[in-house]
Amino acid sequence: MYSIEHQKYLKNIKKRKFLIRFTQFAIVFLLIIIWQLAADFGLINTFISSSPKAILNTVISLYNDGSLFHHIGITLYEVLVSFVVGTIIGILIATILWRFKFLAKVLDPYLTVLNSLPKVSLGPIIIIIAGAGTGSIILMALFISVIITIINVHQAFTNTDSNKIRLMQSFKATKSQIFFKLILPSNLSNIISAFKVNIGLVFIGVIMGEFLVSKAGVGYLIMYGSQIFNLNLVMTGIILLAIMASLMYYLILFIEKRLLK
């Protein structure tokens, strides 16, 4: 049984979380209202910026012709596959680099160069390797996300408290024991932070890939809308991406709470 003071403390925490969520949604709602009012009173050019009503009508139109969830499903599939595969590969390689210091020193400049290389320039090569389909889109997303995941996670692993590592070594702990008992648990928050960065990079990679080769997906809707000067379709695609990215963000927050518990 908690004390009265502790109950008040927990109540204040819940109240603060509610206020944060309420403010977040209120800001979005307010921006939508301002956007629509600016369109209604002619303060903005709706041909360029569209409007919430026009976007809603476009969503309804896509739903009625049966293509809305088809495009969303394809992009979501590509994002999820790229995120899961990229995160696993990034953490595995970061672990190998932590285990073998010599290899990490050798590969450090290569990782930096690859990370700074514009990934769009690799588009034609990726298409030739993986074909003009889903495979090349996922590969593009992996090229963008894996390198930064390796760099961030490996940096977190190497910055683990050296005194704790020496303490475990003094008790004859093996490398595996140090990694699974100290390195990995103490860097869970850093790995979650890498997740949050990775999801944004994966979305960038997937949309870039869909711009290049896709015949379906939200990125395809944006590209097709720009080609036929249908800016309502372009803005609809952007809003759909924002909603999908928000859902993925809250999914990562849910995973974070579970892992940290």
Over residues 151-166, the mean pLDDT reads: 88
Q: Are residues 101 and 39 part of one domain?
A: no
Distance CA 223, CA 115 (A): 26
Task: Answer yes or no: is pLDDT of 5 > 80.
Answer: no
Helices and strands in the chain: count of H runs, count of E runs: 13, 0
The pLDDT, as a whole number, for residue 261 is 67
Q: Are residues 205 and 124 part of one domain?
A: yes
Q: Are residues 120 and 181 part of one domain?
A: yes
The pLDDT, as a whole number, for residue 164 is 87
Domain boundary among 11, 26, 44: 44
> Residue 4: which residues within 8 A CB-CB, separation 6 or more?
none
Q: Are residues 193 and 137 part of one domain?
A: yes
Q: Are residues 152 and 71 part of one domain?
A: yes
> Residue 93: which residues within 8 A CB-CB, separation 6 or more?
146, 150, 154
The pLDDT, as a whole number, for residue 94 is 92
Task: Answer yes or no: is pLDDT of 201 > 90.
Answer: no
Q: 139 and 82 in contact (C-beta within 8 Å)?
A: no
Task: Answer yes or no: is pLDDT of 248 > 80.
Answer: yes
CA dihedral angle for residue 133, residue 138, residue 143, residue 147, rounded to 10 degrees: -170
Q: Are residues 174 and 100 part of one domain?
A: yes
To the nearest whole percent, how much of the chain has pLDDT over 70?
98
Amino acid identity of 190?
N
Q: Are residues 136 and 103 part of one domain?
A: yes
CATH code: domain of residue 99: 1.10.3720.10
Q: Are residues 23 and 58 part of one domain?
A: no
Q: Are residues 101 and 202 part of one domain?
A: yes
Task: Answer yes or no: is pLDDT of 1 > 80.
Answer: no
Q: Print the domain residue range for 253.
A: 50-260
Task: Answer yes or no: is pLDDT of 33 > 90.
Answer: yes
Q: Which of 10-24, 111-125, 176-190, 201-215 has the lowest mean pLDDT?
A: 111-125
How many residues are listed for the chain in this entry? 261
Strand locations in 45-197 (E) = none
Task: Answer yes or no: is pLDDT of 4 > 80.
Answer: no
Number of domain units in the chain = 2
Q: Are residues 84 and 25 part of one domain?
A: no
At 64-88, the pLDDT tens digits run 988 888 899 999 999 999 999 998 9
Q: Are residues 18 and 1 part of one domain?
A: yes
Q: Residue 185 class from Cβ within 10 Å (0-12 exposed, 13-18 middle, 19+ buried)?
A: exposed
Over residues 198-205, the mean pLDDT reads: 87
Q: Are residues 118 and 199 part of one domain?
A: yes
Over residues 229-236, the mean pLDDT reads: 89
Q: What average pLDDT is seen over the chain?
A: 86
> Does 131 or 65 have the greater pLDDT score?
65
- Token pair of 74, please? 């394809």
Task: Answer yes or no: is pLDDT of 214 > 80.
Answer: no
The pLDDT, as a whole number, for residue 220 is 87
The pLDDT, as a whole number, for residue 51 is 87
The pLDDT, as a whole number, for residue 27 is 93
